[in-house]
Amino acid sequence: MVAEALALGAGRVLIVTDPGLSDTGLPADIGTALEAAGIAVAVHADVAGNPTTNDVAAARARADDDRSQAIIAIGGGSAIDTAKATAMLLANGGDYADYQWEGRPITSRSCPFIAVPTTAGTGSEVSKVAVISDPAQPFKKGVVSPLMFAHAAVIDPSVTIGLPPHLTAATGMDAFVHALEAYTGLGANPISDMLALEAMRLVVGNLHNATHDGSSMVARRAMMLGAICGGMAMDQAGLGLVHALSGGLCSQIHLHHGLANALLLPFVLRFNVPAIADDRRRTLNTLLGLPADAGGQDLVHAITSFVRSLGLPVGLADLRDDTAELDWDRAAEESMRMVMVRNNPRAVTVDDCRDLLAAMK
């Protein structure tokens, strides 16, 4: 970490993190190490889950106040995406919404930005996208630019040891869905296939252990690598209907991104199976421990069993009691506006989205 910061020539850095992680002492420990190397450190520890443009504006203001020359994100996807957006704004100016909705082009490389992931799932540490909600708009819209990549990612699986089982499972399933949607999507290519298959192999082989035996460094290390491979596959090949529906759903209710994806996965996979090429379905069968020639429904059952084995809920009603207030039609329509719908292997209509969301009530 210190070596990466020194290599980037940053004399003043802003650590961007969230309150829960701040309580663990990790950001303070990293700050102390940086200060010992002569780097001035400020800490912004107010990032919320499912961050908004307000989170980005607050981090940007803090960076301006402290004349920060570099940003270090410590946390999961929320902290890393907020930091990624902040580093972009410091180099390009303006408000985040300008880039998100009005298409203002990103023309300058972000200011030096280091990502330190503390979950194994999001892949944001290796991706060129930041997903930030705008309270004035109904749904999330990612900003994508190769100028936004982190300058360095410091991967230390030991920092995930304390992650509780339900978060380990939910974030790990996010990594799996990144890989599966990249592998089955229309944008798949030979390189993204290699990354996606390795990501799914690592998740299937290690997420159960990482969830139920959180102190296993073997499982934690494998999951960290799986998340990175899944993130790079997603970055190259795009996502699909699970993430589109997840976006439509989470625009109305606060639901952990990985958990929403895990809930949606069995329903979407059942919908997509007829459109997945035979050779890819055979590869997925083998990866899940099924005979290569097993049918599509067997694959759906195997993945559903895997999700259940992690202790994750199997329906939205098991998880929340406010689903009666959801506007399902609006969720379906907003899902169709997500760009990843167009990368899904099977063509999707708004009625399909409505049916799939209804199935998980």
Which residues form the interface with Fe ion (CB under 5 A)? 174
Integer Cα distance of 117 and 206 in angstroms:
18
Integer Cα distance of 357 and 361 in angstroms:
7
Residue among 294 and 340 whose Cβ is closer to Fe ion: 340
Residue among 90 and 227 whose Cβ is closer to Fe ion: 227
Cα 356–chain centre separation: 22
Integer Cα distance of 183 and 24 in angstroms:
36
Please, what is the minimum distance in Å from the beta carbon of residue 96 to Fe ion?
20
Please, what is the minimum distance in Å from the beta carbon of residue 184 to Fe ion?
15
Residue among 90 and 245 whose Cβ is closer to Fe ion: 245
CB 203 within 8 A of CB 120: no
Tokens representing 149 are: 């990549």
Integer Cα distance of 79 and 49 in angstroms:
8
Residue among 4 and 174 whose Cβ is closer to Fe ion: 174
Please, what is the minimum distance in Å from the beta carbon of residue 241 to Fe ion?
13
Residue among 58 and 260 whose Cβ is closer to Fe ion: 260
End-to-end alpha carbon distance in the chain:
44
B/e letters for 190-209, b = 16+ CB within 10 Å, e = fewer, are eebbebbbbbbebbbebbbb
Chain residue whose CB lies nearest Fe ion: 174
Tokens representing 147 are: 């100028």
Please, what is the minimum distance in Å from the beta carbon of residue 102 to Fe ion?
25
Place of tokens 């990501």: 199
CB 323 within 8 A of CB 330: no
Please, what is the minimum distance in Å from the beta carbon of residue 123 to Fe ion?
7
Residue among 145 and 246 whose Cβ is closer to Fe ion: 246
Please, what is the minimum distance in Å from the beta carbon of residue 334 to Fe ion?
17
